[in-house]
Amino acid sequence: MHIRTWAAALAIGMSAWAVAGAGELSGWIAVEGRGFLNDPLHRGQERDNASIAAQPEYYHTWENGSSFTFVPFGRLDSADSRRTHADIRELNYMYRQDNWFFRVGVGKVFWGATEFVHLVDIINQTDLIEHIDGEDKLGQPMAEFSISPSWGTIDFFLLPYFRERTFPGRRGRLRTSRVVDLDDVIYESSSKENNIDVALRYSNTFGGADFGVYVFRGTSRDPLLATPDLVPPELIDPEDLDDYKLIPFYEQINQFGADLQYASGNWLWKLEAYWRNGYFQDYFAATGGFEYTLVGVGGSNADMGLLCEYAYNDRDDGGQTIFQNDLFFGVRLSPNDAASTHLLAGFAQDTERSENAVSVEASRRFGANWRLILDAWFFLDTASGSVLNELRRDDFARLELAYYF
Amino acid sequence: MRDMSWAWIVTVVGLIVVAATDRSVAAEPSAEERGLAIATEADRRESGYGDSTASLRMVLRNKQGQTSERELRIRTLETENDGTKSLCIFDTPADVKGTILLTHTHKEAEDDQWLFLPALRRIRRIAAQNKSGSFMGSEFSYEDIAAQELAKYTYRWLGDEVYDGNDCYVIERTPVDKANSGYSRQVAWLDKEHYRTWKVDYYDRKNERLKTLTFQGYRKYVDRFWRAGQMDMVNHQTGKSTTLNWSDFTFGTGLKEIDFDRHSLTLLR
């Protein structure tokens, strides 16, 4: 009886759902192999790895302006048990009217302008174990309210739950010699991950310029990674800590950030900057540069973008910030072919230490649903004592074949 | 003496006025004036639709005849004083699903363009001054796809010709911003009855014929606006071609400026 009542209710509910709007399912499933040029440097690491991942997406929209989005994600990795992980990238309900909307649930928001370093993007935590480029993000629980009067857009975010950054485990590559301890995470806030973070952003467009300014108050997304002896004793009993691990410390910060994109002719100028007030010190960070686009290079159909960016960070953290004073050069190549081939190559040079690295990312479509992605990173020269130095044997090439549906 | 000079002035001015009037009444308008008049009338007939939506299927063909397809939805809004706003939302291929191109064309100023990349939820501005690049790998460039703003070309009437059973004007369009166009000139065939375009020849910078665009399946919407159901662009130099199949034209859908705002890109599907 009960089961039949439930089944009937479910059937009615589902048909109401189907009648009231339109739903669609899309997403991708991919196999990936990462091959490393050298044997691992750190004890316990496996040399290469293979993995399979999927990210379906369900989207439902109703006539009244509301919509529902669900994007789960999961990966199975052959080497690193931490890289075998699942996440809810998005699970949210949005209600939109002409010039305002609100969204509640797990969401994803990107702020920023530059290509190589993403400084001001702060709402979502980085899923670092996915890719060293830091562009994969964990879903963030949020309530967002946005209104766009004639003089710009104001977004308000209430972020009630904090997501910890992911780091490679003992058997994974692209890590420091000390594994990051995920059991003894330290928060400055006594509410720990339940600290309620807030953010307020204003953005607008004037002619060729898009800009945004924001204030964020809450738990920093970038942990300071400390050896147990450096952890402030008032925050944790050193006896509880594993000697050979790095302890992530998430401080409370006030951050004022700004981002700007300005297009003029074939030039695109980009700037990101923030000022942060945290537990140990106040500091400033900025990154900016340009992209110049050559259309139809050599009489062909191809476009070529030449990129140059500079990143500066005055945080005094014993070399944990990889990009403190670095120059980046890049080339973006789009042949504009039927397979939507893309290539982006970058070169990073530290201006203070003799450190540099190269990355190449290329992809093309096969048939209507397949895409092949190749990316490779080479840490050419690293200085002792820096984070990059610990990755000096981790030059790798990654090949991914994804099926989109 | 004083009267004399007044008389002279009046006479001279009178003669000039007569000469000028005579010229404008009797002399044939120049080819440039006729070209501009035809383009202006075509533009006038094209204006006033307010907003529209449509579905577009693009079929790309290479020299060997292999095809690949893209499906997208187009939303367009006329603004009161300055150009057109448009959204291209990609539905297929699946790996670019959700990618959106937003364009604000301006009557005279540089156009604004943004690309929304759904995987990263990122909006990238496009330095779009140069419009000669290919649109999504097709034989259409951004300048072929974008709304044609009258002031961005100069015009010349080349003659009248019957094209495909239609009595047509043949006009030449030359881009004002030559450095950022892929063409030295375009030659277009417009029928005299409704000012619909039936064919355009595109000439490259070396003034050689590069591409030909033909239109078919015109239908009238809201009693006024003609839209072609199919457009075929053939590249004579590479042998490649692209067909655009348009469907589901809807006018007066209630789209607003806010729907074409940069911030709205993150909310669209």
pLDDT in tens, B209-221: 999 999 999 999 9
Q: What is the pLDDT of residue A18?
A: 53
User: Residue A47 is encoded by which pair of tokens?
Assistant: 């040399």
- CA A139, CA A91: separation in Å to the nearest integer? 8
Paired residues of A400 in beta bridges:
A32, A373
Per DSSP, helices labelled H in B31-147 are: 31-46, 142-145
Check A368 against B262: CB less than 8 A apart: no
Domain containing A303 equals 23-404
B14 touches chain A (CB under 8 A): no
* Nearest beta carbon to residue B262 from set A210, A291, A336: A210
Residue A6 lies in a domain: no
| Averaged confidence pLDDT in chain A | 91
> What's the gap in Å between the CA of A265 and the closest CA on chain B?
5
* Burial category of B55 from C-beta neighbours within 10 Å (exposed 0-12, middle 13-18, buried 19 and up): middle
CATH of domain B33-267: 2.50.20.10
* Nearest beta carbon to residue A148 from set B134, B137, B263: B263
The more confident residue out of A14 and A220 is: A220
| Nearest alpha carbon to residue B267 among A405, A180, A172, A155 | A155
Nearest CA in chain B to A112: B122
Residue A8 lies in a domain: no
Q: Give the angle subtended at the CA of A271 by the CAs of A266 and A277, to the nearest 5°.
A: 175
Paired residues of B15 in beta bridges:
none
Please state the ipTM of this predicted complex: 0.90
Check A296 against B132: CB less than 8 A apart: yes
Contacts of B92 in chain A (CB under 8 A): 368
* Nearest beta carbon to residue A295 from set B92, B133, B261: B133
Three-class secondary structure assignment of B119-168: CCCEEEECCCCCCCCECCCCCCEHHHHCCCCHHHEEEEEEEEEEECCEEE
Cis peptide preceding B93, ω within 30 of 0: yes
Domain locations in chain B as residue ranges: 2-29, 33-267
pLDDT at B21 over 60: no
Stated pTM of the model: 0.88
Contacts of A296 in chain B (CB under 8 A): 132-133, 182
Check B96 against A340: CB less than 8 A apart: yes
Residues 6+ apart with CB under 8 A from A57: A25, A26, A27, A69, A70, A71, A90
- CA B225, CA A314: separation in Å to the nearest integer? 60
Residue B214's CB is within 10 A of a number of other CB atoms, namely 17
- CA A159, CA A143: separation in Å to the nearest integer? 7
Q: What is the pLDDT of residue A8?
A: 63
Total of domains in chain A:
1
Counting every residue written for chain A, the total comes to 405
Check B263 against A153: CB less than 8 A apart: yes
Check B94 against A369: CB less than 8 A apart: yes
pLDDT at B1 over 70: no
Contacts of B94 in chain A (CB under 8 A): 26, 28, 368-369, 404-405
pLDDT at B117 over 50: yes
Give the domain CATH number at A391.
2.40.160.100
Strand-pair category, B51-61 with B219-221: unpaired
Check B127 against A264: CB less than 8 A apart: yes
Residue A10 lies in a domain: no
Q: How far is CA A52 from CA A3, A83, A88, A400, B94, in A?
A: 37, 11, 17, 9, 19
- pLDDT (tens digit, 9 = 90+) per residue, A125-166? 999 999 999 999 999 999 999 999 999 999 999 999 999 999
A207: left (phi over 0), alpha (psi -120 to 50) or beta: left
Give exposure, B79-105, as e/b (b: 16+ Cβ within 10 Å): eeeebbbbbbbbbbbbbbbbbbbbbbb
Contacts of B97 in chain A (CB under 8 A): 26, 404
- Percentage of residues in chain B having pLDDT higher than 90: 70
Residue A2 lies in a domain: no
Check B126 against A208: CB less than 8 A apart: no
- CA B210, CA B134: separation in Å to the nearest integer? 14
C-alpha A27: how far from chain center:
19
Q: What is the pLDDT of residue A323?
A: 76
Check B127 against A340: CB less than 8 A apart: no
Check A295 against B96: CB less than 8 A apart: no
The more confident residue out of A306 and B179 is: A306
